[in-house]
Amino acid sequence: MKPNHPLRTVSFTFTDAERRAFQPREKVTVSQWAVRHRQVEAGPMPGQWSNEMTPYLVAPMDAFNRPGVQKIILCFAPQTGKTQVAFNCLLYAIDQDPGPAMYVMPDEKTAKRISRRRMRPMFRATPRIAGLLGPRADDVTTLAVTFQNGMDLMLTWATSAAELASESVRYVFFDEIDKYPRFTGQEADPLSLGEVRTMTYPHTRKLLYLSTPTVEGGNIARALEAEADEIWRYQARCPFCGHLQVMEFDQIHWPERIRDPRAMVRRKYAKYSCVKCGFDWDDHLRNKAVRAGSWQRWTGPPWDRRAQPADEGPRRPLAIAFHLPSWYSPFVGLSDVAAAFLRGLQDPSKMMTFVTQHKAEPWKEVIESKAESEILAHRCDLPPGIVPADALALTAGIDVQKAGFWFVVRAWDRDLTSWLVQYGYLSAWADVETLLFATRYPVQDNLRRPLGIWRAGMDTGGGVTDDGNWTRTEEIYHWLRANGRGIVFGTKGASRPQLRRIQPRVIDRMARGNRPIPGGIELRMLDTYQFKGLLHWRLGRKKGDSQRFFLHAETGMDYARQILAEELRRDRRGRLEWKQIRRDNHLLDCEIIAAACADSEWYPSLTLLAREMRKRDQQARRRPPAPATAPESVSAGNRLNFERPGWLNR
């Protein structure tokens, strides 16, 4: 019997993306997926992804697949591959487990740059992902990507509350979280806003937190200390004895005579010593040791000295963290690490770079609060007005007041060790000119000719003069143009932090009345926050260190009180600032200006002067000796006139 309605054959045509959506997932981890499918489009190792060069990235990537783990925290140094972990987890989610995702950068400019230069080229370079990109023009934009399998990716930034609160997402990638602001507009902090977006996925959400640490109390440090159920540190296996060990900076060593960071990098002096057998590793053996290594669970972050290796952790951790310093990376030489440390010994701001960028630990800013007795403990045996025998040059700092001038004269050695030679108060411009251009200070034991001021800085701030015709600033500009002589320079404290401690700036108009200054005048803008920290750092230097800070034998309590007129404190938002606690801080300002005059960022620097003098001394030794002559006596006119009216000297 024939059916009333014959069967009809219906054919369906599926797109490649639809067919892949119906296929079962591959049973692979993120690290295995990356080896099979990831194409690296740029960087030091373009081509097919490999785990062999950076084996320490395998465990952080595979943590993305661990059941129950919702938060993965990476506290890594730069150049170690932490961003590649986020990228591989994102690519894996797009291909194997699609869902709405959000990638959060510190600011809008960075988000757009990462999208254009890294993410979109990465999607197109990986065939597995390129086939999922939508065909329409608006499917792939700078801040949003739509995939054919239902995956949506949004690129946002931490300073926009509207972007962070826009939609619910399953995956959130927080990149460089220590650069996020504390608050987003009038709302909560950006991390909290992003985390709230995942509440509709209570069991399947994944959040990655990536950053190099900055300061104590930063987001990544708080995440390790307060959020992580497990903290893992990497162990390298010694190629000689097979001992597994967490690599510590104290095991990196070099010849004691090497103090020049440039020589360290050029000659590659640094080696790593195995803690068990004592054999030294160069960069090649370090890479071999890292490739044979593994991760180890710890009880706390590495900057907590009480932390110890842990045999077991929670049965089902929700948040796990990984910490990695720079010296594990094959792209960072051991000598690069040592050179960064040597630079830090010469400059506290560079020591912060070493701690955060190489040790991957937060910088702990010391809150400066000292007693006057601690300052006066730096007095030496030299009387005022005498230059130490080791001194190379003299600098002066002058703080201009409405009716006078505070000043400091400081002597400097080649390694920036310094001695206070004179300080006091001057009443007239004539006294300033005598100090800067006519005064010669005798050198200890008359070993050399008396020294005059090599460079001086004069603060250009000030109010209206007594006659009201012009401001003190205009008066200083006029004097500098007429009398600077290439020795005295105008300085001004910067109103905001600077990348460099000293920044030249040309002023071509008066602040009042906008009157032009013919030819202009060049000022040095000083980052006083950095210089005050540098001064207190030098006060903490010990015997044998460079950049020690000395006072002359008769330095009084008045000097100490003015040096301690400001303290480093935290404001209500947790930011560090120098707070003035006494009215008179003039000598502190003078010391800052005198230090700036000798700083390596002021060209020509004192270091360059030392190099030229060394060359001159070497040439003098090669010349035949001159006939002996009687030593030149120091006349009374060349000495500082302590009895002259208008000087209040110590």
Residue 553 falls inside a structural domain: yes
Residue 494: pLDDT band (50, 70, 90) is confident
| Highest-confidence segment of 478-482, 495-499, 604-608 | 478-482
365 part of a folded domain: no
What is the DSSP secondary-structure string of 298-356?
Answer: ESS-TTSTT--B-S---SS-SEEEEEE-GGG-TTS-HHHHHHHHHHHHH-HHHHHHHHH
Whether residue 318 is predicted with pLDDT greater than 80 in this model: the reply is: yes
- Domain membership of residue 357 (yes or no) is no
Residue 517 domain flag: yes
CATH number of the domain bearing residue 512: 3.30.420
Which of the four pLDDT bands, split at 50, 70 and 90, describes residue 512? low
CA dihedral 137, 141, 147, 153 (to 10 degrees): -160
The Cα 379–Cα 539 span in angstroms is: 11
Write the pLDDT tens digit of every residue in 66-87: 999 999 999 999 999 999 999 9
pLDDT at 322 over 90: yes
Average pLDDT value for residue range 387-395: 94
Does pLDDT of 3 surpass 90?
no
pLDDT at 648: 38
CA-to-CA separations, 414 to 183, 233, 531, 609, in angstroms, rounded: 46, 41, 19, 9
Three-state DSSP at 589 gives helix
Q: How confident is the model at residue 407 (pLDDT cuts 50, 70, 90)?
A: very high
Instruction: Report yes or no on 393 lying in a domain.
Output: yes
End-to-end CA distance of the chain: 126
Q: What are phi and psi of 294, to 5 degrees?
A: -160, 170
Q: What is the mean pLDDT of residues 15-41?
A: 80
**pLDDT recorded at residue 425:** 96
3-state secondary structure at position 214:
coil
Determine the structural domain holding residue 581 and report its residue range: 388-620+637-649
DSSP string over 463-499: -B-TTSSSBHHHHHHHHHHHH-TTTEEEEEE-SS--S
* Phi, psi of 390, rounded to the nearest 5 degrees: -85, -5
pLDDT of residue 515: 66
**Which of the four pLDDT bands, split at 50, 70 and 90, describes residue 176?**
very high
Statement: residue 287 has pLDDT above 60: yes
pLDDT tens for residues 266-277? Answer: 999 999 999 999
Cα–Cα distance between 472 and 403 in angstroms, integer? 10
Mean pLDDT of 78-98: 94
With 80 as the cut, is the pLDDT of residue 162 above it?
A: no
Section 379-390 average pLDDT = 95
pLDDT (0 to 100) of residue 255: 94
Q: Are the C-beta atoms of 256 and 269 separated by less than 8 Å?
A: no
What is the rounded distance in angstroms from the CA atom of residue 69 to the CA atom of residue 208?
A: 11
Residue 367 lies in a domain: no
Report the C-alpha gap between 218 and 352 in whole angstroms: 14
CB distance 361 to 216 below 8 Å: no
Q: How far apart are CA 86 and CA 102, in angstroms?
A: 12
- The answer to whether 320 and 72 are in contact (CB under 8 A) is yes
Cis peptide leading into residue 604 (ω within 30°): yes
Domain count, the chain: 1
Half-sphere exposure of residue 101: CA atoms within 13 angstroms, side-chain side:
26
How would residue 93 be classed by pLDDT, with cut points 50, 70 and 90?
A: very high
Amino acid at 449: R
Statement: residue 633 has pLDDT above 50: no
* Residue appearing with tokens 């084996």: 55
- pLDDT tens readout for residues 446-475: 878 999 999 999 998 765 555 556 678 888
Q: Mean of the per-residue pLDDT values for the chain?
A: 86
pTM value?
0.76
Domain-located, residue 406? yes
For 200-256, the pLDDT digits (tens) are 999 999 999 999 999 888 899 999 999 999 999 999 999 999 999 999 999 999 998
Q: What is the mean pLDDT of residues 89-112?
A: 93
How would residue 187 be classed by pLDDT, with cut points 50, 70 and 90? Answer: low
Tens digits of residue pLDDT in 361-370: 998 877 767 8
pLDDT at 642: 33
pLDDT of res. 636: 33
- Lowest mean pLDDT: which of 119-123, 164-168, 598-602? 164-168
644 within some domain: yes
CA–CA dist 536, 291 (Å, integer): 43
* pLDDT bracket for residue 561 (50, 70, 90): very high
